[in-house]
């Protein structure tokens, strides 16, 4: 069935693009943290706390996207509705 292949393609795109976005985001954030810590070393502890908080949020967004993609790949609620469409 064609619909199942589209679901697999969409799940792969969600996971792949989410991973790329999370990696780029954490890389940019880490470089900006090092840059700002080098400019003002007295703020390093505050900046480090904020950086780890944002790293957790970026990773959480990727993990939620991965969970949704895997849910659609294994138990897609839309496939039953597509199967019941009149032909």
Q: How far apart are CA 15 and CA 69, in angstroms?
A: 7
Residue 4: the pLDDT is 67
The tens place of each residue's pLDDT in the chain, 87 residues long, gives 566 678 888 889 999 999 999 999 999 999 999 999 999 999 999 999 999 999 999 999 999 999 999 888 888 777 677 777 777
SS3 at position 5: helix
pLDDT at site 3: 64
Average pLDDT, whole number, for the chain?
88
**Which one of 17, 27, 30, 59 is the catalytic residue?**
59
pTM for the full predicted model:
0.75
Structure tokens at 73: 């790949």
- Map residue 84 onto helix, strand or coil: coil
Superfamily of domain 1-75: F1F0 ATP synthase subunit C (1.20.20.10)
- DSSP class of 71: H
- Domain ranges for the chain, please list them: 1-75
pLDDT (0 to 100) of residue 59:
93
* Residue 26 appears among annotated catalytic residues: no
Question: Which token pair is 8?
Answer: 């697999």
Instruction: Tell me which residue of 66, 83, 87 sits closest to 2, measured CA to CA.
Output: 83
């Amino acid at each position: 069935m064609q619909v199942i292949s589209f679901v697999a393609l969409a799940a792969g795109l969600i996971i792949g693009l989410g991973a790329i976005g999370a990696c780029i985001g954490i890389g940019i954030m880490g470089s900006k943290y090092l840059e700002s810590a080098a400019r003002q070393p007295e703020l390093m502890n505050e900046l480090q706390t904020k950086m780890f908080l944002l790293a957790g949020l970026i990773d959480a967004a990727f993990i939620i996207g991965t969970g949704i993609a895997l849910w659609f790949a294994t138990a897609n609620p839309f496939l039953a509705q597509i199967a019941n469409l009149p032909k």
